[in-house]
Structure 1
């Protein structure tokens, strides 16, 4: 059994692995448990807003991430029916931050970079193919029951972090509700080899329409792009390749020169656990909160969880702070998600995908035009992600 001073983390996505890295840098012994046999490559988060890059830099991840992905400042909104295009750039932040750009990189690639860093720490152990089946805790630690490649196993840790996604086993074991809503549509995220730039798309383009609304984002330095659109839940998932082809031929008539690399259908949620801390167990990332991907606020919010958590948790584990700082983490991160992140993501989704009222659409377009014509409005919009940070629980 693991030493009770160990901190266990369930989930080897970016949130779990980067939390492990932050703890490892403080000389904490960390065990990461992941039910999959390797990092999952399914199409998911791809954009990291400028405000979260300082945290990646502090952990020694940003340079490698920029080398594997790329930085980007350009954005466009295009109203599908009229063809009106509204362009704006993050260059308005050039004199406000060392990182006036967003990072584009698949979340699996970010996880791989974090994993490579973790492999240099002797105080970190990653256990693949381990499914957690039970959690019990007392005043001194957490007992974890699991099933691994060699059968049942038991582990003991001083603290446990659940970073195991929206379907979190840890959250379920704690008996916590995942409050909120599930949107009555399906999203489809498809990675496609096609040079969208030659058809006039910016490297992040929001196509605004209640039928053909979509988010089109460049993924790498070559011509791999992500197209995300929504569709009726009643449509059979096996028909997605045909509907994807039809969709592409509407937004780019007669397009032929493309190859679908991968696609993933998924449900969209606006949900938060009723608590982000129960005793010696804490939640982070999608295990704590889930949002629709519009605006790229999901994993970014998870990274801000990481930055707020690993320093205080290390301090508590080493006796340098009382566990009141973990209550502060739990309360602050839940407040930020429910009051800032979730409403913002829901509004972005509405503008891109959901509005059918012509008067409302006209108002939306007027507001979007201000992003291109009014620097103050654009800066205010871009500063949204700074409000997702928890300065009071900084890891510094």
Structure 2
């Protein structure tokens, strides 16, 4: 197979490269700059992104350098009193990461690139500016400008992770729909002691809301970050003006040192197409989201969950090309009406222009799931209704993310559902293991497990494919009756919830991948 070409080595491009390595696909990553970006950008990584980093084996490195946050707080500027609180600890049964983390993007990117270099040395090619590309029947040929002159590269696919001013999107002449608002934000990183010299009890992620002036205060691993709007046409403030602004929000402090600043525009713009043959748009090349509630970078990481496994299934011959169409069909509504509109509601709320009742209503669990992107439901088929908002911990529906629940495997050791789902579909049969139900043997791309509160006897022949669900806790969490089949995709999302019937899992799997993978005569399904 020709390598998959990735253009752009920001967080989405780097994570995509790690994903392709995880799935065993050859790839090359190209970046036009001489170094990775050192600009002050996104600073909060949500739980769903951490789950992605876990799958691609980089979560431990990221967590070691990050600040974990389990309380996201709103504060009224006039009274300095809390207005709302998001407690991610309520998600402890659903994920192994019941928190979000604060880590600046320019600290995240080296972690991802270092991990990539260890796994595939030389895969990242700096100083490669894309000049043009041409599709062929079996791939894409791209031309790059390098310090050593033009370089032509042949690949199987081209993944555009080259940002909001995407060269790939521009050369394909794909329109961008939406708005670039006449709104600017200023982001400032400060050396400031709010722990000992000037102790404050603000959450590590604090939203100061006010109709006249609002600010977001973020505790980064080694500094504090302030984010606030600039008045239309206003110049960035001087040091003294900024110091006065800081003191209006948090009171007197003994000293503060500005480390870095950046001013950027607010966008809500979505590409009208995300796929053109063998070329795909990802991250900011596909969607520019208002940077509120950390929905910019983290929405881009959702793309790295959705597309790579599809490419792997097609490359392995396990799926038809039509499987790739599901990437844009499922992810684009989330960017347009999900992350995009949610971020806009949050932006207006901070400025006193509206409320977040439709998003922040319901149980504490629902609010936490929504804010961490664990509440994403994909439109996986015509019957599944996509959503990004959870109000309560109700029964799972088709398209929902399967909780990363802890069960006990046939080897006696605890296991997590997401570990079982890595790189395959998983069919879960909720039935009585004592009755020795007949389930198919595992096959490449599709595994089968009996889930029961009754441990499978050693003479049942089911031990290796059994999961002990103590107290039927997972069964109750899903909200399905006994004798139910739940099919989970490699991206952790539920593909089907149906009564158990012989051969049904394989039928469902074949319908999704668009290919007949029936076993040969004499082989198990």
> TM-score, structure 2 length as denominator?
0.68
Report the counterpart of residue 347 of structure 2 in structure 1. Answer: 349
The Cα offsets for residues 280-321 of structure 1, whole Å up to 9 and x where unpaired, read as 100111111011111111111111110111111122234332
**Helix, strand or coil at the partner of 2:339:** helix
Residues 176-255 of structure 1 mapped to structure 2, 5 A cutoff: 176-197=174-195, 198-220=199-221, 222=222, 224-237=223-236, 239=237, 241=239, 243-255=241-253
Report the counterpart of residue 257 of structure 1 in structure 2. Answer: 255
Query: Whole-Å Cα distance in 2 between the matches of residues 144 and 44 of structure 1?
Result: 29
Residues 316-327 of structure 1 mapped to structure 2, 5 A cutoff: 316-327=314-325
**Helix, strand or coil at the partner of 1:329:** helix
Higher relative contact order (CA 8 A, sep 6+): 1
Pairing 1:141–2:139 present? yes
Q: Is this contact kept in 1: 2:91–2:369, CA < 8 A? A: no
The Cα offsets for residues 192-220 of structure 1, whole Å up to 9 and x where unpaired, read as 11134523421010010133211111110
Q: Is this contact kept in 1: 2:292–2:343, CA < 8 A? A: yes
Q: Is this contact kept in 2: 1:248–1:255, CA < 8 A? A: no
Query: Whole-Å Cα distance in 2 between the matches of residues 391 and 112 of structure 1?
Result: 34
Residues 66-105 of structure 1 mapped to structure 2, 5 A cutoff: 66-86=63-83, 88=85, 89-105=87-103
Pairing 1:30–2:27 present? yes
Q: Is this contact kept in 2: 1:312–1:395, CA < 8 A? A: no
Q: Tell me: CA distance 1:199–1:128, structure 2 relative to 1, closer, same or farther (3 Å).
A: same
Structure 2 residue corresponding to 1:300, chosen from 298, 301, 309 = 298
The Cα offsets for residues 37-86 of structure 1, whole Å up to 9 and x where unpaired, read as 11112111111222332221111111111101121101221111232323
Query: Whole-Å Cα distance in 2 between the matches of residues 387 and 138 of structure 1?
Result: 39
**Helix, strand or coil at the partner of 2:212:** coil
Structure of higher CA gyration radius = 2
**Helix, strand or coil at the partner of 2:311:** helix
Pairing 1:281–2:294 present? no
**Helix, strand or coil at the partner of 2:243:** helix
1:256 offset after TM fit, Å? 4.4
Unaligned runs of 5+ in 1: none
Q: Is this contact kept in 1: 2:243–2:256, CA < 8 A? A: no
Query: Whole-Å Cα distance in 2 between the matches of residues 390 and 133 of structure 1?
Result: 35
Report the counterpart of residue 386 of structure 1 in structure 2. Answer: 374
**Helix, strand or coil at the partner of 1:120:** helix
Residues 53-68 of structure 1 mapped to structure 2, 5 A cutoff: 53-68=50-65
Pairing 1:43–2:40 present? yes
Query: Whole-Å Cα distance in 2 between the matches of residues 37 and 391 of structure 1?
Result: 40
Q: Which moved more, 1:83-92 or 1:128-137?
A: 83-92
The Cα offsets for residues 98-146 of structure 1, whole Å up to 9 and x where unpaired, read as 2111122122222222211211234762110111121221222112122
Query: Whole-Å Cα distance in 2 between the matches of residues 110 and 202 of structure 1?
Result: 22
Query: Whole-Å Cα distance in 2 between the matches of residues 214 and 249 of structure 1?
Result: 12
Q: Tell me: CA distance 1:195–1:123, structure 2 relative to 1, closer, same or farther (3 Å).
A: closer
Query: Whole-Å Cα distance in 2 between the matches of residues 320 and 108 of structure 1?
Result: 38
Q: Which moved more, 1:117-126 or 1:67-76?
A: 117-126
Q: Tell me: CA distance 1:133–1:38, structure 2 relative to 1, closer, same or farther (3 Å).
A: same
Higher helix proportion (structure 1 or 2) = 1
Computed over aligned residues only, the root mean square deviation of the Cα atoms, in angstroms, reads: 2.3
Query: Whole-Å Cα distance in 1 between the matches of residues 265 and 10 of structure 2?
Result: 19
Q: Tell me: CA distance 1:242–1:180, structure 2 relative to 1, closer, same or farther (3 Å).
A: farther
Pairing 1:16–2:13 present? yes
Q: Is this contact kept in 1: 2:187–2:227, CA < 8 A? A: yes
Pairing 1:159–2:157 present? yes
> TM-score, structure 1 length as denominator?
0.89
**Helix, strand or coil at the partner of 2:269:** strand
Unaligned runs of 5+ in 2: 381-488, 493-525
**Helix, strand or coil at the partner of 1:282:** strand
Query: Whole-Å Cα distance in 2 between the matches of residues 19 and 344 of structure 1?
Result: 25
1:95 offset after TM fit, Å? 2.7
Query: Whole-Å Cα distance in 1 between the matches of residues 300 and 108 of structure 2?
Result: 13
Query: Whole-Å Cα distance in 2 between the matches of residues 318 and 123 of structure 1?
Result: 24
Structure 1 residue corresponding to 2:167, chosen from 166, 169, 184 = 169
Q: How many residues align?
A: 378
Q: Tell me: CA distance 1:183–1:394, structure 2 relative to 1, closer, same or farther (3 Å).
A: farther
